[in-house]
A and B are shown apart, each in its own frame.
Chain A
Amino acid sequence: AQSVTQLGSHVSVSEGALVLLRCNYSSSVPPYLFWYVQYPNQGLQLLLKYTSAATLVKGINGFEAEFKKSETSFHLTKPSAHMSDAAEYFCAVSENTGNQFYFGTGTSLTVIP
């Protein structure tokens, strides 16, 4: 079975600073990778996905993630944090059959004004 590790359950950044949220996965075959964002009292929303095309994936709200096979990583970045980015972020992986999704434990992002 797949597993997803998100390093750092809580990350704080200053407004305007770089956002870096880490995700590592275990897989013997190239998986599909996703980042979701969850705002308080809401469901998860898709930020971006990797499906074996370009390794640098751009998503909504200025976020992007880079698939690095050698490091089995899919870290999420944003050059400049905004107050509205404060939320919980989940990394997820699915195998190429695509029917089973494995979620990380989430990273809570706080943006300091």
Chain B
Amino acid sequence: DAGVIQSPRHEVTEMGQEVTLRCKPISGHDYLFWYRQTMMRGLELLIYFNNNVPIDDSGMPEDRFSAKMPNASFSTLKIQPSEPRDSAVYFCASSLWESGANVLTFGAGSRLTVL
């Protein structure tokens, strides 16, 4: 399995531009999570889906952030308009219950820099 695939790996954009981050989860995994990692705040859960349905989006910072999962093999996280404080590494993770626990598998991350 190729694992969780994220694109782009690096994105540099200017304040006010729209940013779209993409994620392909592992086939068969029925949960998908979006996390944000910064030095100041560590790992923060933004939103997670179960069977393509958003379950908890309480971590989404504000209305500028939106996430979709149109099918079991694809999810997007969109920021519009972007701001410098959105600069972070965004991780997608998918999970499957195994040995009695839900185990996360992370992608390599998308490093976003907003100038």
Binding site for B on A (CB under 8 A): 32, 34, 36, 41-46, 49, 51-53, 90, 92, 94, 98-101, 103-106
Contacts and interface: CB of A to CB of B under 8 A. Distances in A.
B4 A43 contact: yes
B105 A46 contact: yes
Nearest to A31: B101
A85 B101 CA distance: 26
A7 to B, nearest CB: 15
B contact residues, range? 20 to 34
B108 interface: yes
Nearest to A90: B43
Interface of B: 4, 31, 33, 42-43, 45, 48, 50, 55-56, 91, 93, 97, 99-109, 111
A52 B100 contact: yes
Contact of A101 (B45, B100, B109): B45
Nearest to B48: A99
Nearest to B3: A43
Contacts of A34: 103-104
B108 A43 contact: yes
Contacts of A51: 99-101
